[in-house]
Structure 1
Amino acid sequence: MINFKDIIYLKEGTVRQKEAHKVLLELNLFELLKNFNPILAGTIPINIDVESSDLDIICQSENHEDIVKVVREKHGKLPGFEVKTIPSYKNLKTTIITLEYKTFPIEIFVQNKPSEEQDSYLHMLIEYQILLKNNEDFKSEIIALKQQGLKTEPAFAKLLGLEEDPYEALLNYGYEKGYIS
C-alpha cells in the first residue's frame, strides 16, 4: 500500500502526480504545514483525477487562525487566495484555504480532528482499495463519471449501487469491507 502521508510517492507516479509533487515542493507547502499534520488527499494521489482536479491538502489545527496566518504570510498573494470558515461540518469547525499555482487549484482543508481520521482521507483510502479490487474498466467508468461532472464519492456510490448519501455510504462500505477500521 502507498504511504499517502509522505508525498514522495508522487515523484514516481503519473505525469500529473509528478507535476503535483513539483508544485508542492516549489510552494514548500508540506514543510510550511508540517505542524498541522498535512496529507494530500483526493483524486490525484489515487490517479483518478480529471483536468479540473485540485490538490486537496487536509490538516489538523486547534486554532484555525494559526494555519491561516502561516499560509497567508507565505502565499496570500497567489491568485485565488481565499479563506472560508464553515461553522459546523459534522460538528467540526472547518476552514478552507484556496489558492492557485501553475495549473493547480489548491485547497487546504482544516479541521480540529487528526488528518488520518478526516472523511476525505478515509474516502481516499476506501476508493484506493476499491480501485485495487476492480479492473481498469471500473477506474475508467469512475473517471468518465467525473468528466461528466459527478463528484468522486457519488461516482463510486453509483457504480457500487450505494443508494443513501454517497459520502456516508462510502464510509459505511469501507468499514463493512474492512478497508478502514
Structure 2
Amino acid sequence: MSTRYAEESFHFVNWKDLSYLLDGSPVQIEVHNLLRNYFLFEKLRPYSPILVGTVPIGINVAGSDLDLICEVTDFNAFEAEMFAAFKQEQHFTIVRRVVAGLERIKVNFTLERWPIEIFAQSIRTTEQNGYRHMVVEARLLALFGHAFRAEIIQLKENGFKTEPAFAKALKLEGDPYLKLLELADWTNEQLLALNVAD
C-alpha cells in the first residue's frame, strides 16, 4: 500500500482536496471515485466537507466506513437537504441530538459496498474532533513508521476503535479520545519522545 502522503508529506496534504487519495492504495482510489461518481462533495460543498477517519490515512480495515464532517448553522435546512439528496439510498437514517449543549446531526446510508456517515455540527470542520484526531494520527503514523502502522491496523482488526488503538500502542492512560486531542497540540519532538517500544 502506498502511504507516501502519510509517511513523507502528510503535513502538505490538503485534506479538503480529495485528489490526495489518487496517490494512495487501491481502496483509496476506489473511495475517491465513489465520492466523485456520487457527487458527495458537490452536494455538501456549502458545508465545508472533509473526509476523515481511517481511509484518508490508510489504516482502514474490513468494515470501515466513510466519515464526512460538515459545518452547519441551519440544522432544519441541512436536514431537509440531506433527506432530499440521500433518502433513496440504502439504510438511510437521520438522527439529531444535542450533546454538551451543541446540536449535531448524523446522516447514514450506504453507497455500493461503503457505509457512509455524514456528521455535522456548528463548528468549523478543521476544528472538529474528527478532523483533529485524523491529523494527529497521520503525524504519528509518519513519525513512527511501518511497524507502528502495522500495530494500529492489527489492533483495529482485533476489534479496537481507532483512537483506543492509538492509545494502546502509545501506552496512553485515560480517555483515548481526549488524549489524542492533547497530542494534536504537541510538536513532532514531543511526539517522538513517547515510548512506543514494548
Q: Residues 33 and 67 of structure 1 are in contact (CA less than 8 Å); yes or no, is this contact kept in structure 2?
A: no
- 2:169 and 2:187 mapped to 1: Cα distance? 16
Question: Separation in 1 of the partners of 2:71 and 2:159?
Answer: 29
How far, CA to CA, are the matches of 2:56 and 2:126 in structure 1?
A: 15
**CA offset at residue 176 of structure 1?**
2.7
1:67 to partner: Cα distance: 2.1
Letter of the 1:156 partner, please give it.
Answer: F
CA distance in 2, matches of 1:14, 1:69: 35
Q: By how many angstroms is 1:11 displaced?
A: 2.0
Equivalent in 96, 109, 114 of residue 85 of structure 1: 96
Task: Please provide the CA RMSD for this pair.
Answer: 1.3
Identity value in percent: 38
Cα distance, 1:79 vs structure 2: 0.5
The one-letter code sitting in structure 2 at the alignment partner of 1:95 is: I
Aligned residues: 178
Superposed counterparts of 1:6-17, under 5 Å = 6-17=17-28
Match of 1:57 among 62, 68, 76: 68
**1:68 equivalent among 55, 65, 79:** 79
Q: 1:20 aligns with which of 20, 31, 41?
A: 31
d(CA) in 2 for partners of 1:91 and 1:128?
A: 30
TM superposition shift of 1:129: 0.2
User: Which string of whole-angstrom CA distances, capped at 9 and with x for unpartnered residues, describes residues 33-88 of structure 1?
Assistant: 11001000000000000111111000000112222222221221111110111211
C-alpha distance in structure 2 between counterparts of 1:176 and 1:133, whole Å: 13
TM-score normalised by L of structure 2: 0.86
TM-score after normalising by structure 1: 0.94
Matched, 1:42 2:47: no
Q: Residues of 2 paired with 1:151 and 1:74: CA distance?
A: 30
Give the superposition deviation at 1:178: 6.0
- Structure 1: runs of 5+ lacking an equivalent: none
CA distance in 1, matches of 2:48, 2:183: 26
Q: 2:117: which partner in 1?
A: 107
Residue 175 of structure 1 aligns to a residue whose secondary structure is coil
The letter of the residue matching 2:180 is L
- Contiguous gaps of at least 5 residues in structure 2: 1-11, 190-198
The whole-number CA distance in structure 2 between the counterparts of 1:28 and 1:71 is 13
What letter is aligned with 1:92?
L
- Structure 2 distance, partners of 1:128, 1:48, is 10
